[in-house]
Every structure is written in C-alpha cells, then in structure tokens.
Structure 1
Amino acid sequence: MSDTTPGTAEPQYGTSLTRTEPFATEHIPVAERHGHPRHQFTLWFAANMVLAVMVSGFFSSLFGLSVLQGLSAVAVGTLLGAIVMGVLAGIGTKMGVPQQVQARGPMGYFANFVPIAVLTVISAIGWTAVNTVFAVIALQMLVDVPFWLAAAVIFVVQAVFAIWGHNLIHLINKIATVVLAILFAVITVLSMQQVDFAVGVNPEAPYYMGEVAGWITFAGFFFAYVMTWTPFASDFSRYLPQTTSHGKVTFFTATGTFVAMMWLGGIGVLVSSFAGELDAIPALAELTGSWAPVAMLTVVVSTLPVSAMNLYGGSLSLLTIRIPVNRIVGVVLIALISLGVTLLMQTNPYGSFYDFLNILAYLVVPFSTVLLLDYYLRMRSLGHLATEELFDTRRSVEWGFVAWVVGCAFSALFWTSTLFTGPLASAFAGFGDVSFVAGALAATIAYVALRPLPPLSSLLRGGRDRVEASA
C-alpha cells in the first residue's frame, strides 16, 4: 500500500489529546486533517520566546552598533527568515508530509539522507542541548540540584511532550504563549530600567568591523537563527486541511516568529551595552534584580516547548533517513544523545558547538533555497503526483542535491567563523558576512541551470543499464 493512501473516512487521531500521535513521516490522510492557520502563530511564538534569542541581541554592542542600527538589523534579519519559514510551512499544508520528507523532491530519496542527517538531526540535538543548558543553570539558581539530575528531569518532560506528539505540542505552545508573554513582559519592564537609548556607534567595540559590515553581520545572526528552523517548518503544519490558504499559513507562521524574536532580540539590543559583558544567566539576573527568581523560572518554562519541538523534528529526521526505529524510539534516541551533549557543554552553551551550529546555518540557506525553487518551479504543478514521488526510491539522487552542494561550496568561500574562515571572506570584509547571500545565489543559479536536464536518477540508471547490457 502506498504511503499516500487516504485511509479511512473516520479519523484515527484527529484532535485527540488522549492518545499518542500514530503518524510519522507518511502522508497525512484527508480524514486526519484539522486545525486553523492561526495555531501556527502560537506554535512559533512560543518556540522563539527563549533566552538564546535575547542573548543574540547582546552582540549588538559587541559589533559597536548604535541602538537604532541594532534594532533595525534584528527586524530585517528576522523578517527575511520568517517569510521563508512561513512559505515553507504553507507548503506542508499542501503536501501533507514533514519538511524533511519534502526535501526528497529536489534532492532525491537517498541523496536527501545527507542534508537531513547533517542539517536536521544534528541541529535538533544541538539546539536542544543549548536551550537545556540555559534552563539547568537557571533552575540551579532557584534550587540546589546537581546539573545532571536537573538536566535529566527536564529531558524527561520534553521527551514526553514530543512522544505524545503533534496535538499536545500545539496545546502546550498555546498555553506557553500566554504564560511566556506575561513572564517576559515582567522581564521587559524590569529591563527597560537598564536601557541607555543614547548608545551610539562604538569603533572601540571588540568585534567592530565598520557600521555597514557590522549591521549586515548582526542581521545575519537573526536571519540564521530563523533559518535553522526552516528544515522543520512543515512538521507542525502538515495536519492542516489541504484547502487551507497558503497565504494565511505564511502570515501566521511568519508573524509568530517575527513578534517573538523582535521582542526578545530587541530587549537584547537595548541592554547590550552592559549585558554583552556578562554570561547569559548572570546578565538576566542583573537585569531583573529582586525579580531574578521569576526570570529564572521563565527560562526553565520557555525551554520545554521549544525543546519538545526539536526532539519531535529530530525523530522525524531519523525516520526520513530510514533509521530502523519508530517515532517514539526516535524521540528517546535524540533525547539521550542531546542529554549527553548537554552534560558535555554544561556552563558553556555558546562555545565551540554553538559555532558549529552557525556553520550548519550556512548550509541550511542553500537547502531551503532549493526546496522553495523546486516547489514553485516543478512540484506545485504536479498535484498529488508530487507527494507520491516523495516515496519513490527509484528517484535516488536528483539535481537539487547537486545545486545544494554547489550552494554550500560557494558559500564556504565567504564563511566567517571561528571554526573556518573562507578564502574570500577578507575580500568582502567591508560588507560583513555575505555567506548567506552567496549560498542562496549559487544554489539558485545551479538549480535553474540544471533543472532542464533529464532527471539525474534516470540518467544514472540508464548509464548502469547500458553497462550491464554490454557485459
């Protein structure tokens, strides 16, 4: 039976909260479709109301930017990434499969293993660890508890949410939207007492590279943060009815993402003149003074929904690359590995592994670029056949994979990272980090040039067949 079989007329799962989600990477049947596009707002709002976003804002003063420059960079970088997120989430509504499975369209069934393993499995593990480290440090400021024990308890809660699946995650994020909005509103009011709106350009800042270069690079921080979510964009929209407006899904997804990141990233910019000199948790404690326990509780609570989403997306990624487990076991595996990484990172969540996650963001941009191009230039016109081809193993490798590799390779020439600096990075230093633009342009050119050719998997099969025939 095909993975795209519509199934029974009566839903097996529907809107149920009393049973675990029975579906994984297969096509969601028509009878199971439910929800409203506005639910994408609460989902992505809660997902981005985390300390890591505020900490990213702290870099504004380190780049020597003025308050206005910092805020505008957050706005532009976030908006660009949020729009891409929204469009990809809307595609999930039409295709009815996770983002990871959609990538088989341009990449090919087996070639897709490479970007999914690198971009989604590792990203899910890494970001869950980063956010959990913040949560544990914050929890230790409230109660005397060993790091390992606190981390283990938090992971159990996160894993239960992810195991229960789609409907519970949406409900948790609806509740978290209200709770976190109230808690972060308190933090915002307290933080405003520390704001110096007169902060101007500071050429003596440790990372100062010029106003234009600094602005572009700082905007790239927030663009990259959002883009690391894009390989999971459809995971939580694929249950929406196929007739749902693509525009509405895009709007609510992008708006939820933008509001949350602009809010916390903006606070980070406004207090960056002093907070950037401190570690994340001490900075937040100093911002909130006697209200620090409330702030620490906020950090702990905010970690639960976002990490549950990462564990959920990570498990779908394992299934996409055909690791022989079911979704529940996949969640447990991702959680255990991430717990190990959390224990290794402990008090340094923004150390070398965070730098590695930035490298992953460089690779994500060409990936999402190819997905968008392939959908609008090819898959959308195929109708239901587009979904069926996602489960066709004969399409082993396609031109989209080549375009992604070209985009990543060209982008690497401009990378600016502590782990690797591209040979052309210094030549464009006056424009800041242009790696994302370079990767997107190269992937676009490569895809458009290769698309008119016969399917790559067909060419490879034909070549092999000719060799066997002549033997």
Structure 2
Amino acid sequence: MAGSLLEQRSIDVVPDEERHGTAFSQFTLWLGANLQITAVVTGALAVVFGGDVVWSIVGLVVGNLLGGAVMALHSAQGPKLGLPQMIQSRAQFGVRGAVVPLLLVILMYIGFFASGSVLAGQAVGELTRLGETPGILIFAAVSGLMAAVGYRLIHAVGRAAGVICALAFVYLGIRLLERADLATLLADAHFDLPMFLLAISLSASWQLAFGPYVADYSRYLPRTTSARATFWWTLSGSAIGSQWSMTFGVLVAATAGGAFMDNQVSYVVGLGGGGLIATFLYFVIALGKLTINVLNTYGGFMSIVTSISGFRGQRVLSPRGRAVYISLIMIAGTAVALLGKDSFLTAFKDFLLFLLTFFTPWSAINLVDYYLISREQYDLPALSDPDGRYGGWRWDALAVYAIGIAVQLPFLVTHFYTGPLVAPLGGADISWIVGLAVPAALYWTLARRNHGPTDPATATPTPADQTAA
C-alpha cells in the first residue's frame, strides 16, 4: 500500500513500513493551505473593524507566531504516534469522553468548509459562468473527492498550490502597491490596544484552529523524523503563508474600503486585471481554497470516525464507509455555505473568535499531557479500550476543559456576546490567553498526581526501539 495514491488508513496507527516523506513536506502543505482568500479576509477584518495598517500587521504577526507555535507542537506529535490528532485526546478525556471536544471540532470543520465554499464558489461560478450557487456545489464535490483519495493527493495539491499561489500573490502585491499610497498608510499609525489585541486574536485563532487536525498530515512521516524539524517546518510554512495573505488583506482593506467588503473575490481579481489574467486569478482563488477545504473535509471525516469508534470499538474503515463520512461533512458544510453566503464577513469574524473559546483549552490540555505528563509516551492499545488505562470517561479532564471554556467568557468579545470584564480592559479580547493558561495549569496540577508509568510493552515506540528491533 506504500505506493498507492488511494489511502487505506483512517484512525488506525500507520505502521513503519508505510511511512514516507520528510519534515519539509509540512512547510509546503501549510504554505499552500494559507496562501488563500479566506486568510486575506481574516487580515482585512483587522482594518475593517477599526485597526490601522501598521499595528494591525504587527498584531497579526504576533498572533501567527504564538498560535502557530501551539499548532506546530501538535504537528510534532504525528511522526511519533502515527495517529490522527484527535484520537490522542482519548489519553486525556477517556476513550468515550473524547467525544466532547470532538463534536465541537466537527462543527469547526463544517464551519470552515462553509466559509471557504462561499469564497471559492464565487471564483468557480465566475470560471464556469454558472453563478455562485452552482460554483459552491461544484467546489464542494471536488473537495469531497480529493478527501476520499486522501493523504498523498492532499500533499501533492498542497505543493502545487504553494507555488502557484505564491506567484499569484507576488503579482497581486505589485498591482496593489501601484494603487496604494504606502507612505501615507504607514504614517497613519495610531496604537489602539483593543484593536491590536483583536488583530492578535484573529491570527492566533486562525492558527489554533488547525491544531485539532495538524498531526493528521504529519502522521505518515517516518518515526525517526526529528520533532524539532517537524515543528519548525510546520510553523514556518503556516506562519509565512498566513502572514503573507493577511498583510495583503490589511493593505487591500485599507485602500479599497467598501469596494472590498462588497465582494472580496471580485475585487481581488479586478486588482489583477481582466481577460486571461482574471481567469487565472479565479483559478488561483479556487485552488487555494481547495487545499484548505480538503483538509477540513478530511479532518472532519477523521473526527466523526474517532467519535463513533470510541463507542463501537471500530478501528478499520471500508472505502464505502469512508465515502459516507466524507459525504456527511460535505453536505453539511455546503448547506451552511448556501444559507450564510449573504452575511459572510461579520459571521466569519464571530465564528473565528467563538471557535477560539473551545479550542484553546483543548490545545492546552493536549499539549501539557503529551509533553509534560506522558513525556511523549502513550499506551496505544489502551486508546481503543474503554476498560483500559485511559478509561471510558476522564471526568477530571472534562471538568478542566469546561472550566477552561467558562473562564474565557468574561473576556470574550463577539457580535452576539460581550463579557463583563471587556469594558474595564478598554474593549480588548484576551479570552484566548486565559483559555490557554488556566486549563494548562489546572490539568498539570491534577494529572501529575494521578499519572502512573506507561507499560513499556505497549508504549509508543521510540526511534531507538525501532533500530534495536
């Protein structure tokens, strides 16, 4: 199966004889996944909601680096364990208790699939001359098909998208600078703490949202792959790609104003020109969104299988079952896209920040457990046994997770809810910082008291073990 394009694995451990690739593959994948229109919109939101160019860009850099570091720490787990990201949550929450964060993750995948389909559907609709709604449907079908083929195709498209989209963004950047009075934009710098923290939160939430599936795309790397190399290649690809796109978005929003807000895709394409160039740019937008939408479809399928298998004990999935789960994600995401396509910008900003509320505590618990409590050693058979080492439900971890969500609410700022401690902070949203720090400290305090040694016979193999064998 090592050379087959059609992936056979789902949530089972990838054996060493099927491992392949190098850590550099994480750079190309995540660069391609971030050089795309939704990242442009995310950067633009920092200006649309009141920030200036200079401090918006600085804030986005800070958020991309902080959130990207957390995301890359998850990526480094993939080669070591050979498992999808969310199945590892069973070690913290229990074989069945992991369904709690998993259900929220599935909602995230559906939401990102929908938001990506709205923008890509506009591009596909222009390319095919069929309109936005048929464009969304075509784009969703192609995303589902690619996710069904799996890991190798996803990485191949990511590499191609990275090169093609980088060239397109260079060209678009030149065209934008021809129109923009950059000196004036940079001179109009006025630091505003709430807007600065909003920019950090937007980019940090963008990066942290990759955490629940980033190891899905590093789990086929050889077990001997350096964790440090995996971390740095993932962080650099994701941070460079997202910052590039978001900086472009900041400059577009600062120069275009309402023209960009009315139709993001048409404005960006019009910036590049007409005729064949416009056709190429519509293709680039669709290709960039295809990469990330396939990741969302694939990750959603993995999360559904992980949720159900915790109760059914299923480890292996047939191609037909795989297609069914992927279709569920595709249909749900497409339905949301069609229903919400007319209120995209405001809804997407609130969606990003609200997601952050649920995934920062999960990241904190997962990383503390993996790196500080379990010391990168998991009992792999017990991850599928509700009567084993990790149990069915880990109520202490679930309580910490609930507390991690609750402590953020007083600091949260969204369109539909603002916490009571936001005003004393000048309107700044620091909920994600609280959501990382509090559950990390609580979980470390509780888990280190209850953690026993891992059985060497069932522990995660180390590279030295593999060499000795």
Give the structure-1-normalised TM-score.
0.86
**Structure 1: gaps of 5 or more residues:** 1-12, 204-209, 457-471
CA distance in 1, matches of 2:51, 2:415: 21
Q: Give the Å deviation of 1:286.
A: 4.3
* Aligned twin of 1:413: 410
Q: Give the Å deviation of 1:351.
A: 4.2
CA distance in 2, matches of 1:42, 1:455: 38
* Aligned twin of 2:148: 163
Alignment of 1:291-330 (within 5 A): 291-322=277-308, 326-330=321-325
CA distance in 2, matches of 1:86, 1:23: 23
Matched, 1:390 2:383: yes
Once the two structures are superposed, residues 360-393 of structure 1 have per-residue CA deviations (whole angstroms, 9 ceiling, x without a partner) of 1221111111111001122225x3x433332221
Q: Give the Å deviation of 1:98.
A: 0.7
Matched-pair contact (CA < 8 Å) for 2:124–2:282:
yes
Q: Which amino acid aligns with 1:331?
A: I
Q: Give the Å deviation of 1:258.
A: 1.0
Matched, 1:193 2:178: yes
Task: State the identity %.
Answer: 28
Matched, 1:451 2:451: no
Matched, 1:350 2:350: no
Q: Give the Å deviation of 1:300.
A: 1.4
- Among residues 265, 286, 308, which one is paired with 1:281 in the alignment? 265
Aligned residue pairs total: 432
Matched-pair contact (CA < 8 Å) for 1:98–1:234:
yes
Q: Which amino acid aligns with 1:59?
A: L
* Aligned twin of 2:206: 225
Q: Which amino acid aligns with 1:414?
A: F
Matched, 1:441 2:414: no
* Aligned twin of 1:215: 196
CA distance in 1, matches of 2:130, 2:239: 35
CA distance in 2, matches of 1:29, 1:243: 13
CA distance in 1, matches of 2:32, 2:94: 33
CA distance in 2, matches of 1:184, 1:438: 35
CA distance in 2, matches of 1:267, 1:420: 29
| Structure 1 residues 90 and 428, CA gap change in structure 2 (3 angstroms) | same
- Among residues 368, 374, 380, which one is paired with 2:375 in the alignment? 380
**Structure 2: gaps of 5 or more residues:** 453-469
* Aligned twin of 1:362: 357
SS at match of 2:407: helix
Once the two structures are superposed, residues 234-279 of structure 1 have per-residue CA deviations (whole angstroms, 9 ceiling, x without a partner) of 0010111111100000011111101111111111122321334232
Alignment of 1:64-213 (within 5 A): 64-118=50-104, 120-197=105-182, 198-199=184-185, 200-201=187-188, 211-213=192-194
* Aligned twin of 2:239: 258
Q: Give the Å deviation of 1:423.
A: 2.1
Q: Which amino acid aligns with 2:393?
A: V
- Among residues 413, 424, 427, which one is paired with 1:427 in the alignment? 424
Q: Which amino acid aligns with 1:122?
A: L
Give the structure-2-normalised TM-score.
0.87
- Among residues 236, 243, 267, which one is paired with 2:224 in the alignment? 243
What root-mean-square deviation, in Å, do the aligned CA atoms of Structure 1 and Structure 2 show?
2.1
Q: Give the Å deviation of 1:116.
A: 0.8
CA distance in 1, matches of 2:379, 2:344: 40
Once the two structures are superposed, residues 124-153 of structure 1 have per-residue CA deviations (whole angstroms, 9 ceiling, x without a partner) of 111111111111112333443143322222
CA distance in 2, matches of 1:112, 1:97: 15
| Structure 1 residues 64 and 334, CA gap change in structure 2 (3 angstroms) | closer
Bigger share in helix: 2
- Structure 1 segments of 4 or more deviating over 6 A? none
Once the two structures are superposed, residues 85-140 of structure 1 have per-residue CA deviations (whole angstroms, 9 ceiling, x without a partner) of 1111111111111111011111211111011111x211111111111111111233
CA distance in 1, matches of 2:379, 2:73: 17
CA distance in 2, matches of 1:77, 1:66: 16
Matched-pair contact (CA < 8 Å) for 2:411–2:420:
yes
Q: Give the Å deviation of 1:440.
A: 1.0
Matched-pair contact (CA < 8 Å) for 1:407–1:442:
yes
Matched-pair contact (CA < 8 Å) for 1:28–1:97:
yes
CA distance in 2, matches of 1:307, 1:292: 22
* Aligned twin of 2:4: 16
SS at match of 2:69: helix
Q: Greater shift after overlay, 343-352 or 438-447? A: 343-352
Q: Which amino acid aligns with 2:122?
A: I
SS at match of 1:242: coil
